[in-house]
């Protein structure tokens, strides 16, 4: 499609451990020579895997891209907790948990399946009273109240439980979750259910919505400028329609469009006669018309 390029597309990158998500974005900005790049979900420096970058005008699609469910491969240690709940932190609790049985671990996983409220990790970028939580921790300030959000854990697969030295237990699994779910906090919660400390030791994001790490380029290719930009609209699953010049002129001014022009009331991508995406329109139930959600040109 000729509208794809440095100013409108997605770039899938397989982030290595040791880099921040911002490091990857900065590298993409250098290679693509544009500052208009965003990502659809932070990966902590210790974590690896899929980072979806929106380039140029595709950043307008972030409200949709950020809503995607995600899948992770996670490994946690029962019997040890760090202040950051991951390998980068300092050990704050340690216990022998050799008396914990597999049945209890599976029961904990079952308990944390479904929709529930999850507390944000103390070391996270969630803001409380204008400050990020990690700023409270680093400055030794008291947090007014720990924020919570509703999250969903859909399933656990490939569960593997192995005894480790010093009375620790390593638990690995693949987990599918809703947006905004902290896997670090999930590890802590699973440990709390078993009445023992717990932290992550490894985390890899393998999917975000329709996008998979198997389709992502290694960070080394990004550094070399060996890129593969993909259509940001192809995976959205929206209805598509081509409009005539007179309608696209109205759309360019943000005008409402009569419902009768659309196949249904779902979000719809409008293209001009040359195949370029013009806007995404959605149904306005009060006015009974379609109105602009995102202008793409």
CATH number at residue 32: 3.30.2350.10
Let me know if residue 231 belongs to a domain.
no
Tokens representing 83 are 């202040």
pLDDT tens sequence across 231-254? 999 888 899 999 999 888 888 888
Q: Hey, what are 129's tokens?
A: 């009273």
Which of 191, 224, 257 is where one domain is finished? 224
Q: Tell me if 233 is assigned to some domain.
A: no
H or E element in which residue 208 lies: strand 198-208
Mean pLDDT over each residue of the chain, to the nearest integer: 91
The confidence score (pLDDT) of residue 1 equals: 37
Q: Are residues 12 and 138 in the same domain?
A: no
Which pLDDT score is estimated for 134?
64
CA–CA separation, 286 vs 290, rounded Å? 10
Do 131 and 31 belong to one domain? Answer: no
Residues 82 and 93 reside in one and the same domain: yes
In a domain, 2, yes or no: no
Q: What residues does 77 pair with on adjacent strands?
A: 170, 199
Q: Residue 34 belongs to what domain range?
A: 8-68+209-224
Same domain, 75 and 203: yes
| 62 and 79 assigned to the same domain | no
Quick one: pLDDT at residue 132? 67
pLDDT average per 10 residues of sequence, the chain (297 residues): 62 97 95 92 94 94 93 98 93 94 97 94 65 67 75 98 94 97 96 97 97 97 92 91 90 90 94 91 95 90
Q: Are residues 62 and 80 in the same domain?
A: no
pLDDT of amino acid 219: 97
Q: Is 192 in the same domain as 289?
A: no
Residue 136 confidence (pLDDT): 65
Query: Does residue 231 carry a catalytic annotation?
Result: no
Selecting among 14, 23, 44, 215, the annotated active-site residue is 44
Total domains, the chain: 3
pLDDT of residue 3: 45
Burial environment of residue 164 by CB neighbours within 10 A (0 to 12, 13 to 18, 19 or more): middle
Is the alpha carbon torsion for 185, 189, 195, 200 positive or negative?
A: negative
pLDDT at 2: 39
Task: Tell me: do 58 and 144 sit in the same domain.
Answer: no
Q: What is the token pair recorded at 119? A: 């507390």
Contact status, residue 46 vs residue 201, Cβ threshold 8 Å: no
Is the pTM here over 0.85, yes or no?
yes
What Cα–Cα distance (Å) separates residue 100 from each residue in 46, 109, 124, 207? 27, 14, 29, 31
What totals of helices (H) and strands (E) does the chain contain, helices first? Answer: 7, 19
Same domain, 189 and 110: yes
Closest residue by Cα to residue 200 from 48, 42, 29, 7: 48
């Amino acid at each position: 499609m000729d509208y794809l390029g440095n100013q409108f597309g997605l770039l899938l990158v397989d982030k290595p451990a040791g880099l921040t998500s911002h490091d990857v974005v900065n590298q993409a900005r250098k290679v693509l020579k544009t500052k208009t790049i965003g990502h659809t979900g932070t990966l902590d420096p210790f974590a690896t895997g899929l980072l979806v970058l929106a380039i140029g005008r595709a950043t307008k699609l972030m409200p949709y891209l950020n809503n995607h469910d995600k899948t992770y491969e996670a490994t946690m240690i029962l019997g040890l907790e760090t202040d950051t709940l991951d390998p980068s932190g300092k050990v704050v609790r340690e216990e022998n948990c050799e008396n914990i049985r597999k049945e209890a671990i599976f029961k904990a996983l079952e308990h944390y399946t479904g929709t529930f409220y999850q507390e944000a990790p103390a070391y996270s970028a969630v803001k409380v009273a204008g400050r990020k939580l990690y700023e409270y921790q680093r400055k030794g300030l008291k947090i007014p109240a720990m924020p919570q959000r509703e999250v969903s854990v859909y399933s656990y697969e490939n569960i593997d439980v192995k005894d480790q030295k010093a009375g620790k237990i390593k638990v690995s699994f693949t987990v599918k979750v809703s947006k905004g779910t902290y896997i670090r906090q999930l590890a802590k919660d699973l440990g709390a259910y078993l009445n023992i400390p717990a932290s992550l030791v490894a985390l890899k994001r393998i999917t975000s919505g329709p996008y998979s790490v198997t389709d992502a380029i290694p960070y080394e290719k990004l550094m070399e400028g060996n890129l593969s930009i993909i259509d940001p609209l192809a995976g959205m699953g929206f209805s598509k329609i081509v409009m005539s010049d007179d309608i696209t002129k109205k759309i360019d001014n943000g005008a409402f469009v009569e419902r009768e022009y659309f196949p249904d009331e779902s979000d719809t991508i409008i293209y001009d006669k040359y195949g370029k995406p013009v806007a995404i329109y959605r149904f306005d139930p009060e006015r009974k018309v379609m109105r602009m959600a995102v202008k793409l040109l």
